[in-house]
């Protein structure tokens, strides 16, 4: 089935460690996104990528890094520089950069710093 | 200023009641898109509807209906005869020129439907 797969679903990290969240899509979408959601809050854009080997910072990119080496994959690294990383992370994708594209979401990954 | 405002933080209704979730947006562009997503307890956001700024026709899909009014910058969502399975957090979102890839989400409305 086509969709967006995020892994792991739950992840625990010790302070000072980097951690990478995986996001893979088989929808042949050009654009991919990472959002962060804190409890009771809306979604905030971390990074997005419109094409392979290119990406742009969103509203809260500090402490995060991404890569887009393949169309299907857009991993997010939460670095030790991110001071408050405990949150729910959502990966999304869309067909492209034309106006009106709908973004579709993965199931999310819970990151907890212990 | 918030581009998308969902003033209702949480709503509780009894099954079979109708419920309307409010969404007010702010944009200076003439071309923009509005969306509604549902987030069940499992966490994944499920796309419900997309509306472009040139189409003010209301839409009905089963028990769901949407009322788009440019005059009041609102895009409200009504669930008729609510069911327990409708319990979720609902998000309204906006995309606008020049960067349609950048979605602005409201803070969400948590809907509790009690049996």
Structure tokens at A110: 């819970």
CB contact under 8 A, A42 and B106: yes
Per-residue confidence band for A28, with pLDDT thresholds at 50, 70 and 90:
very high
Q: Which residues pair with B61 in a beta bridge?
A: B64
Could you read off the pLDDT of A40-50 as tens digits, one per residue?
788 999 999 99
Instruction: Using CB atoms, pick whichever of B33, B46, B47 lies closest to residue A100.
Output: B33
CA distance B12 to A92: 29
User: Which positions in chain B touch A110 (Cβ < 8 Å)?
Assistant: 43
Per-residue confidence band for A114, with pLDDT thresholds at 50, 70 and 90:
confident
**How much is the CA Rg of chain B, to the nearest whole Å?**
14
b/e for A32-61, b at 16 or more Cβ within 10 A? bbbbbbeeeebbebbbbbbebeebeebeeb
CA distance A111 to A26: 24
A106 touches chain B (CB under 8 A): yes
**Strand order across the beta sheet in which A19-25 lies:** A4-7, A19-25, A76-78, A64-66
Tell me which H or E stretch contains A4. Answer: strand A4-7
Gap from A1 CA to chain B (nearest CA, Å)? 16
Could you read off the pLDDT of A67-84 as tens digits, one per residue?
999 999 999 999 988 888
Residues of chain B below pLDDT 70? 1
b/e for A67-90, b at 16 or more Cβ within 10 A? bbeeebebbbebeeebeebebbbb
CA distance A47 to A61: 6
Give the model's pLDDT for residue A82.
Answer: 87
Could you read off the pLDDT of A55-64 as tens digits, one per residue?
999 999 999 9
Give the model's pLDDT for residue A99.
Answer: 67
Chain A residue with CA closest to B98: the answer is A99
pLDDT reading at A22 higher than 70:
yes
């Amino acid at each position: 089935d086509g969709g967006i797969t995020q892994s792991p679903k739950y992840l625990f990290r010790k302070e000072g460690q980097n951690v990478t969240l995986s996001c893979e899509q088989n929808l042949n979408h050009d654009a991919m996104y990472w959002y962060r959601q804190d409890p009771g809050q809306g979604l905030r854009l971390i990074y997005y990528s419109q094409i392979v080997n290119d990406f742009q910072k969103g509203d809260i990119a500090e402490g995060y890094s991404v890569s887009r080496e393949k169309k299907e994959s857009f991993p997010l690294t939460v670095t030790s520089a991110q001071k408050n990383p405990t949150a729910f992370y959502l990966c999304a994708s869309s067909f492209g950069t034309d106006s009106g594209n709908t973004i579709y979401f993965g199931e999310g990954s819970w990151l907890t710093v212990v | 200023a918030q581009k998308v405002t969902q003033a209702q933080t949480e709503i509780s209704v009894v099954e079979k009641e109708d419920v309307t979730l409010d969404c007010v947006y702010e944009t200076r562009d003439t071309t923009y898109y509005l969306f509604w997503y549902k987030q069940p307890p499992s966490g994944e956001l499920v796309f419900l509807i997309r509306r472009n700024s040139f189409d003010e026709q209301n839409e009905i899909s089963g028990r769901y209906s949407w009322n788009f009014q440019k005059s009041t910058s609102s895009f409200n969502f009504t669930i008729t005869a609510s069911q327990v399975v409708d319990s979720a957090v609902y998000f309204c979102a906006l995309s606008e020129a020049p960067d349609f890839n950048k979605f602005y989400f409201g803070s969400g409305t948590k809907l509790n439907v009690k049996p």
